[in-house]
Amino acid sequence: MIEISRNQILETRDWTESINQPIANSGGIHGGILIGVATPPSVTNTASFKSSSRTIFEPGLPALRVEENVVRVALGQAFAAIGFGPFAIANNHFTCGGTILGRGTPIAQTVLILNLGTAIEAVATTRPSGLNRGLADYAAMAPPPTFSAASSGTVLFTNNICQLEARLDRQRSLTSVTIISTDNLIFSNNELWLESATFGAFFDALLAAGTLTATGNRFQESAASVLLSGITVAPFNITTQNISTFCLLVEGAKKVDAPNLAIIDSFFPDLCARLQKQ
């Protein structure tokens, strides 16, 4: 159970160094907040589980909470997290990019989140949802819960500002922000901002989950910097009331994709509607 709040993590040497041209990076791992494996607390010191080598997590507790931080880095993701269990990332300012030349083609340059927790619908028929039924119920189950079957895989990503400055470092990436969950994703009231002199990423944001709600966001990009402002993918997908510079592509078996406003439609009427139908 990780909590990170009210920090300033600022890498500013690339702005203060006296340089005439962008310089190459020194290699190695770079980033602002990087979390390898986040999980809820596990059940410990219980005789009922000594015979099992698998981890059982306490239900109803978070795996990760990241709130009210300011993170700016020149290389690597401003924020990256992988794990199981509920994630809550709110009211942060994440910024990446600067004057140092980038390297490779990362999946996401500013924010990367991967949650592999299991949705309750997928496990409710095979195991109890809480400890209130007693440890004996868990011990008698066959097979016992696995490491990947955490109590939840939901991701709450709200009220964040995510900025990618790729004009000077000439970094290229697939996206600026990528969030993937095998459970539920709520992506709301965020400001995404991407600046690049040329093509910098395919999408400003890539959002994928089992169930997804993306509402009230602003996707803002400089001219010719991306192909699409964002793509959202989920079997059950609600992507509405967003404002974007370029088109948003909404995919799902059951989906609600209107109303959304794209500034590019003012110059090329119905472009986004035609793209969505293809």
pLDDT in tens, 94-126: 999 877 776 656 889 899 999 998 888 877 554
Return d(Cα 237, Cα 78) in angstroms, integer: 27
- Decide which of 275 and 205 is more confident: 205
Number of residues that make up the chain: 278
pLDDT reported for residue 47? 53
Residue 128: count other Cβ atoms within 10 Å of its Cβ. Answer: 15
Task: Indicate if the pLDDT at residue 197 is higher than 60.
Answer: yes
Q: In the predicted model, what is the mean pLDDT of the chain?
A: 83
Q: Are 1 and 61 in contact (CB under 8 A)?
A: yes
What mean pLDDT do residues 2-26 have?
Answer: 77
pLDDT in tens, 230-278: 999 999 999 999 999 999 999 999 999 989 999 998 988 888 888 877 6
Structure tokens at 203: 């999408």
Does 145 sit behind a cis peptide bond, omega within 30 degrees of 0 on the bond before it?
Answer: no
pLDDT reported for residue 104? 58
Task: Indicate if the pLDDT at residue 87 is higher than 70.
Answer: yes
pLDDT reported for residue 128? 46
What mean pLDDT do residues 8-33 have?
Answer: 74
Q: Spell out the SS3 assignment of the chain.
A: CEEEECCEEECCHHHHCCCCCCEECCCCCCCCEEEEEECCCECCCCHHHCCCCCCCECCCCCCEEEECCEEEECCCCCEEEEECCCEEEECCEEEECCCEECCCCCCEEEEEEEECCCCHHHHCCCCCCCHHHCHHHHHCCCCCCCCCCCCCCCEEEECCEEEEECCCCCCCEEEEEEEEECCEEEEECCEEEEECCCCCEEEEEEEECCEEEEECCEEEECCCCEEEEEEEECCEEEEECCEECCCEEEECCEEECCCCEEHHHHCCCCHHHHHHHC
What mean pLDDT do residues 128-136 have?
Answer: 47
Task: Indicate if the pLDDT at residue 146 is higher than 50.
Answer: no
Return d(Cα 184, Cα 122) in angstroms, integer: 12
pLDDT reported for residue 220? 95
Q: Which residues contact 11 (CB under 8 A, 6 or more apart)?
A: 32, 72, 73, 74, 75
What mean pLDDT do residues 19-38 have?
Answer: 75
Q: Are 167 and 193 in contact (CB under 8 A)?
A: no
- Decide which of 106 and 151 is more confident: 106
Q: What is the pTM of this model?
A: 0.85
pLDDT reported for residue 238? 97
Return d(Cα 227, Cα 204) in angstroms, integer: 9
- Decide which of 228 and 56 is more confident: 228
Task: Indicate if the pLDDT at residue 181 is higher than 80.
Answer: yes
Q: Measuring CA to CA, which residue among 254, 128, 111, 98 is closest to residue 178?
A: 111
What mean pLDDT do residues 55-79 have?
Answer: 89
pLDDT reported for residue 131? 43
pLDDT reported for residue 152? 86
pLDDT reported for residue 231? 96
Task: Indicate if the pLDDT at residue 161 is higher than 80.
Answer: yes
* pLDDT confidence tier of residue 24, bands split at 50, 70 and 90: low
Q: Spell out the SS3 assignment of 45-113.
A: CCHHHCCCCCCCECCCCCCEEEECCEEEECCCCCEEEEECCCEEEECCEEEECCCEECCCCCCEEEEEE
What mean pLDDT do residues 164-187 have?
Answer: 88
Task: Indicate if the pLDDT at residue 145 is higher than 70.
Answer: no
